[in-house]
Structure 1
Amino acid sequence: MTTIYVDPSKKKEQIVKLSDGTFGLMKAEKQKSGIGYEFDFTSHMHPSFRIPHAPVNGDEETVHSIDGEQQFKIQWLSK
């Protein structure tokens, strides 16, 4: 499981660091049901994915891609 470190004070867009040392971008998107969030990663080791709600500390997301299943855990960035 790869951990995504998120700063909860940044609601619209931010660069996120992953537990394996790679980086990505988390950005808010307007959807019919409200605001969802998209995660795009600089490394090709991880597939992009969307969640239909604001990130929650401790949430685990399972993402299915052509390379198989990957699991991500969202963790608040401690200051």
Structure 2
Amino acid sequence: MTTIYIDPSKKKEQIVKLSDGTYGVMTAMKEKGGLAYKFSFTAHLHPNFLMTHAPIDGDVENVHSIDGEQRFKIQWLSKH
């Protein structure tokens, strides 16, 4: 499982770091049911995915891609 570190104070767009040392971008997008969050990754190790709810600390997202299933855990960055 790969952890995505998110700064909860940045609601619209931010660069996110993953536990394997790679990076990505989280972008808020307007959808019919409210906001959805698109995760796009710079390395081709992980599939891009859309989360249809706000990220919550400790959530685990299962993402299916042509390379198989990957699991991502959401973790808030500490304020230290």
Normalising TM by the smaller chain, what interval? over 0.9
CA distance in 2, matches of 1:62, 1:53: 14
Q: Which residue type is aligned with residue 54 of structure 1?
A: A
The aligned counterpart of 2:66 is 66
Number of positions where the alignment pairs a residue of Structure 1 with one of Structure 2: 79
CA distance in 1, matches of 2:78, 2:19: 14
The aligned counterpart of 2:55 is 55
- In the TM superposition, what is the alpha-carbon distance from 1:53 to its structure 2 partner? 1.1
Superposed CA RMSD: 0.4
Q: Which runs of 5+ in 1 are unaligned?
A: none
Q: Secondary structure at the match of 2:78?
A: coil
Q: Report percent identity of matched pairs.
A: 72
TM-score between the two structures when normalised by the length of structure 2: 0.97
Q: Which residue type is aligned with residue 51 of structure 1?
A: M
Q: Which runs of 5+ in 2 are unaligned?
A: none
